[in-house]
Structure 1
């Protein structure tokens, strides 16, 4: 019995499995790097939240509505900014 074709077929499968393994290891390494970056970003956001909260506790309480202009168009101007999906020019707000 000639086992050469069988050994060649096994070599092909082994090479394909090795290539797949190497590719998956590369993907895992990339994903681990992305995970580290995401975790670092999440930690930074948590630190920022903690810092902002601590600073907000030190600020004196202010009445928000007392500082708003009483002009009748002010709510309309705010609505334009709230509904904007991109940058605005002064001309766009005036229209």
Structure 2
């Protein structure tokens, strides 16, 4: 019986040590997350300020394109207008199933 209790105590010790290491990792990751979120907020504020100042000077805002749009335009420039949605999906590596080709074909 003593052996069994010793095994349980050893396992409890191991679990407590693991839990403590995990708490330390969580605290470190929480700090990193807070720093990243702070940086993101500062960048967004800076972006908004730059756009406001540009608007005051009469500078139009930059063109906002959906993700991947510039890459698709470059494909057409390189390969001409003969590309099909399936070709674009294959080149971009997004998959060639119907859901991918229709998503590429559909305007957003």
Shorter-chain TM-score tier: 0.5 to 0.7
CA distance in 1, matches of 2:42, 2:29: 20
Alignment of 1:59-78 (within 5 A): 59-60=57-58
Query: Normalising by the residue count of structure 1, what TM-score does the alignment of the two structures yield?
Result: 0.60
Cα RMSD of the aligned pairs, angstroms, is 1.0
Matched, 1:7 2:5: yes
Match of 2:46 in 1: 48
User: Deviation digits for residues 1-52 of structure 1, max 9, x if unmatched?
Assistant: xx11011100110000000000001000100000000000000000000000
- Structure with more contact order per residue of length (Cα contacts < 8 Å, sep ≥ 6): 1
Count of residues in correspondence between the two structures: 59
Unmatched runs of 5 consecutive residues or more in structure 2: 60-108
Matched, 1:18 2:26: no
Runs of 4+ in 1 over 2 A off after TM superposition: none
Structure showing greater radius of gyration is: 1
